[in-house]
Amino acid sequence: MSISYPRQSARTRRFTLGEPRAFQIAPDESRVVFLRTRAGDDPVTCLWTLDTATGEERCVADPATLDVPGEEDLPAEERARRERAREQAGGIVGYATDQAMEQAVFTLAGRLYVADLNTALVRELPAQTPVFDPRPDPAGKRIAYVSGRTLRLIEMDGTDDRALVQPESDQISYGLAEFVAAEEMGRLRGHWWSPDGGTLLVARVDETPVHRWHIADPANPERPPAEIAYPAAGTPNALVSLVLLKVDGRRVGIGWDRGMFPYFVTAGWDRHGLLIVVQPRDQRSQRVLSVDPSNGETSLVHTEHDPVWTDIVPGLPARTNAGDLIWTSEDPDTDTRRLTVAGKPVTPGGLQVRSVLGADGESILFTASEEPTEVHLYSYEAGEVTRLTEGQGVFGGLRSGGVTVVTGARLDRPGTETEVRTPSAVHPVASFAETPVITPRVELLRCGDREIRTAVVLPTGWEPGQGRLPVLMDPYGGPHAQRVLAVHRMYCEPQWLADQGFAVVIADGRGTPGRGPAWDRAVRGDFVGPVLEDQITALVEAARRHPDALDLDRVGIRGWSFGGWLSALAVLQRPDVFHVGIAGAPVTDWHLYDTHYTERYLGHPDEEPESYAANSLTGMAGELKRPLMIIHGLADDNVVAAHTLRLSSALLAAGRPHTVLPLSGVTHMTPQEVVAENLLHIQVDYLKSALSG
């Protein structure tokens, strides 16, 4: 029996189930550890190892074989972490190992487990539940974990479970990442072991000043609303400090100017010592500080400043074997983010560094782009930059000694390919992901003077002369995410949409990643002008290239999150171009979005109120002349449903008809199979109806 693409995509979590991920390499290079589900429609993740000598794979821990309850009662902290990480699978979705990589610890249903990676023996430890973010010390003697906002320790044999510190109030936590760190900074953790295993660096988060929001479930009025500490733009953030906790209970506070630099970005602890990175609220600088573990005093290692904002680059800070700081700098002459070692740029202009994946000796592994639709794997060593991947695609990996793991998703074939490269052999890592029942037919363009990267997807089998098609713009269009990448999977859903009778156009305009600092910063203070202009430029150029295909008298636009804001903006501001819009989880009033993201682009609302007024949709409600559907998950704690309700109220007050589709129990993600499938059909029906004339 054949399966429809919407059902297959929903069932496979957009084809991510069955793909290997979360790789780690043992220091002795004997094994690689990773996560993977057993099938492309199986959402339960297992822990696996690969023998680097033979390529043999072994399942070390399978939740199905353990006496584990379901995930209906996951700890609130784990649910929040999965939402921040956009984690769509279940089972063992994260793990940590000792330094030798002989033992791995993980949680299932809030309980603590340890797996022996040599024997595949899995034990449950009697830790205090619910357990969150367990991490063994480097020697594998004990495990630190968080339970009930408290950082605790338990010996690896299951004895001596104890609290290492007690929160001073129910608003204070030890060992957790606050909301903006997890959602916007990419920091999902709040505690780090020292290399000798005698000390933990711990984030102390005080949410007392943060405003409280309440997210109700209207479909189940008997349930009390969930209370969240949400730092909306212009309101107080959580107070974050750092402490060094010795395993014997001694405590040392870490000092820096938290009044000037309230954001704790990340930490790195290696054999050279402890580094932390801090940032002011306006994000125009970052400081790398070294910490003296004996007294908590800090000293300045590096300062970065930018008049607009400074970027948080994944994988930094790092250091070479010699102790030189690995960082990035932004070269205004070539508009390039370049890799630096000891303050000196080591990558050429035009190669945009995306992330640092690790330093092994004097070799640095990183990802970067010459062409923004592609991300390749590079190494820097002995003054030379070497590209390790070829072909059109997006690649990543890691390295330890002579073993390199390379992952890649390509444009010309489905799925993700992973191989383990050793000096003597190359071992592929099996992927169990399903192959899409649809084959994308995509053309990548460079549109307009700015060469906006644009994808055009036409119906399968369509040929010139068969009649022009209504156009569907399908953007994200904003910071932190690209839609136009040389990856097969990116165009499966657009191809299905095209096959429903549309010409689909996707464009990455100013503000999207991969094009350099000036491109990123072009949206500072003004999302509306550059973002909307670039979408229209791409649309017009795509129609010029395909005059027989694209009917500019019938143009729809849909998007989610920032793309939802953009879709509503398009029909509000340019009804002459866009004839119908579908806005999913849109940010309609930027006062309601979080501090770190919003203030980065629009400034503090008390200082730049005009930016908030100009970029929020509620004030534009009276201008609506086109059909608009707004979709929102009522359980969304990122872009809360108040955004949609306020826009809907403003539209109603202005006498503007519109459609609102509330999704009960749905968060900012839509992993529920039936919801994800039916949402596609509902959107297509709405678009066809609106564009039928």
Question: What pLDDT does residue 90 have?
Answer: 86
* pLDDT tens-digit series, residues 621-635: 999 999 999 999 999
Q: In what order do the strands lie in the sheet with 162-163?
A: 132-136, 142-147, 150-155, 162-163
Look at strands 452-457 and 442-447 and give their pairing.
antiparallel
Tell if the pTM clears 0.85, that is, is over it.
yes
Q: Is the preceding omega at residue 317 within 30 degrees of 0, hence cis?
A: yes
pLDDT in tens, 386-439: 999 999 999 999 999 999 999 999 999 999 999 999 999 999 999 999 999 999
Is 687 in contact with 17 (CB distance < 8 Å)? no
| Three-class DSSP category at 619 | helix
How wide is the angle at C-alpha 99 spanned by C-alphas 97 and 105, nearest 5°? 15
CA distance readout (Å), 340 to 320, 364, 447: 11, 11, 33
**Domain boundaries along the sequence of the chain:** 17-139+402-432, 164-312, 315-400, 442-691
Q: Token match 């990802």: residue?
A: 367
Question: Does residue 69 surpass a pLDDT of 80?
Answer: no
pLDDT score of 672: 67
Question: What would the mean pLDDT of 266-295 be, rounded to a whole number?
Answer: 97
In CATH, what is the architecture of 442-691?
3-Layer(aba) Sandwich (3.40)
**Other CB atoms within 10 Å distance of the CB of residue 216:** 14
CATH for 17-139+402-432?
A: 2.40.128
- Mean pLDDT taken over the chain: 95
**CA–CA separation, 14 and 492 (whole Å):** 9
What was the pLDDT predicted at 361? 83
pLDDT at site 571: 98
The burial class, CB within 10 Å (0-12 / 13-18 / 19+), for 271 is exposed
What is the average pLDDT across 606-614?
97
Q: What is the pLDDT of residue 671?
A: 61
Buried b (16+ CB within 10 A) or exposed e, 609-631: eebbebbbbbebbeebebbbbbb
In one letter, which amino acid is 99?
Q
pLDDT band at 181 (very low <50, low <70, confident <90, very high): very high
Q: Which residues are CB-neighbours of 576 under 8 A, at least 6 positions away?
A: none
Residue 154 has pLDDT above 80, yes or no: yes
- Look up the CATH superfamily of 164-312: Dipeptidylpeptidase IV, N-terminal domain (2.140.10.30)
Closest by CA to 174, choosing from 124, 109, 243, 230, is 243
Specify the pLDDT at position 87: 67
pLDDT confidence bin for 85, thresholds 50/70/90? low
Segment 169-191 shows an average pLDDT of: 96
Residue 667's pLDDT band (cuts 50, 70, 90):
confident
Interval 297-305 mean pLDDT: 97
Tell me the β-bridge partners of 50: 32, 57
Q: Look up residue 591 and give its amino acid.
A: H
Q: For residue range 352-396, what is the model confidence (pLDDT) as tens digits?
A: 999 999 998 889 999 999 999 999 999 999 999 999 999 999 999
